[in-house]
Amino acid sequence: MSLGTRARSLTCAVIACALAGSVALTAVPSYADPIPRAPGHRLVDDYTGSPATARPVPGDAPDQHPYLAPNGRSGMHADGAGSGTHPYSGPLGRSPDVTSERMAALGGECVTATFDSGGRLLTVCGSIKGFSLKLLDPRTLETLAEYDLGQRPSTVEAISRLDYARIFKDTSGGAYFYLDNEDRVVLGNPRQHILRIAHERKPDGTWRFRVEDDWDLTDRLPHDCATWARPYPKGECDPVTSVMPDWEGRIWWVTRQGRIGTVDPRTDTVRSVRLKGEEIQNSFSVTEDGVSIVSDHALYHFRADEDGTPRALWRQTYDRGTGTKPGSLSQGSGTTPDLLGDDYVAITDNADDRMHVLVYRRGSDVPDAERLVCKVPVFGSGASTTDNSLISYGNSLIVENNYGYENPTSLTFGRSVVGGITRIDIRADGSGCDTVWESKERSPSTVPKLSTANGLVYLYTKEPNRLGVDAWYLTALDFRTGRTQWKKLTGTGALYDSNWAPVTIGPDGTAYVGVLGGLVAVRDESDEEDGRRNSVVGSRS
**Closest by alpha carbon to 72, among 56, 89, 55?**
89
Domains of the chain: total: 1
What band does 91 get if pLDDT is binned at 50, 70 and 90? very high
pLDDT per residue as tens digits for the range 387-416: 999 999 999 999 999 999 999 999 999 999
The DSSP bridge pattern shows strands 85-86 and 449-451 to be: parallel
pLDDT in tens, 111-149: 999 999 999 999 999 988 889 999 999 999 999 999 999
pLDDT tens-digit map of 330-367: 999 999 999 999 999 999 999 999 999 999 999 999 99
Q: Are 251 and 185 in contact (CB under 8 A)?
A: no
Q: What CATH number does the domain containing 46 carry?
A: 2.130.10.10
Domain that holds residue 58: 3-540
How much is the pLDDT for 118? Answer: 97
Distance CA 73, CA 504 (A): 9
At residue 529, the pLDDT reads 54
Instruction: Please tell me the predicted confidence (pLDDT) of residue 32.
Output: 58
In whole angstroms, how large is the CA radius of gyration of the chain? Answer: 22
- Dump pLDDT digits (tens) for 233-292: 999 999 999 999 999 999 999 999 999 999 999 999 999 999 999 999 999 999 999 999
What number is the average pLDDT over the span 61-82?
A: 98
Measured between alpha carbons, how far apart are the two ends of the chain, in Å? 57
Distance of CA 207 to the CA centre of its chain: 26
Residue 288 has, within 13 A of its CA and on its CB side, a CA count of 8
| pLDDT > 70 fraction of the chain, expressed in percent and rounded | 91
> What predicted TM-score, i.e. pTM, was given to this entire model?
0.92
pLDDT per position as a tens digit, 143-192: 999 999 999 888 888 888 887 777 777 888 899 999 999 999 999 999 99
Helices 153-160 + 3-22 axis angle, to 10: 110
Least confident of 108-112, 165-169, 516-520: 165-169
State the burial class of residue 271 (Cβ atoms within 10 Å of its Cβ: 0-12, 13-18, 19+): middle
Q: How far is residue 352 CA from its own chain's centroid?
A: 25
Determine which of 25-39, 156-170, 298-312, 413-427 has the lowest per-residue pLDDT on average: 25-39
